[in-house]
Amino acid sequence: MQLNTIKPGSGSKHAKRRVGRGIGSGLGKTAGRGHKGQKSRAGGYHKVGFEGGQMPLQRRLPKRGFKSHSLKYNAEITLADLEALAADEVTLVMLKQAGLVGELAKVVKVIKSGELTKKVSLQGIGATAGAKAAIEAAGGSLA
């Protein structure tokens, strides 16, 4: 292989569409723009969602829903995750290092999913009512 023989892969390049170059090209005369109207003219266009003065769809439909910006700072772990974790005392830093919660997490809560058989002490981590009962039944505690 030499530099003068290198070519792009077949199908990776295609010719640019040349419009307004005569009747034989198939894109002569109006050059694919149709007849008259705002879209046929140079510089004539409108903003996204504009419907010619009619009330646009995004304004006709009701506003709905809400997404909290604080969601990315909240995380949850399961009882099964605690079971797999090889530690008696569990802290937020330890959970981040183990990769069980994201780096941005500030508030962590344990949910009741899975089984917990070993004694675990939670430091600065919340728990749902069911998870708290399961942790205390296994001899653990929440601080």
In a 13 Å sphere around the CA of 65, the CA atoms on its Cβ side amount to: 2
- Number of other residues whose CB lies within 10 A of the CB of residue 92: 17
pLDDT of residue 48 exceeding 90: yes
* Phi then psi dihedrals of residue 116, to 5 deg: -130, 120
Report the pLDDT averaged over residues 61-80: 94
**Domain boundaries in the chain?**
70-142
Report the pLDDT averaged over residues 9-38: 94
- Residue range 70-142 in CATH 3.100.10.10: yes
pLDDT of residue 63 exceeding 90: yes
What's the pLDDT at 19?
94
Question: pLDDT, tens digit, for every residue of 84-130?
Answer: 998 899 999 999 999 999 999 999 999 999 999 999 999 999 999 99
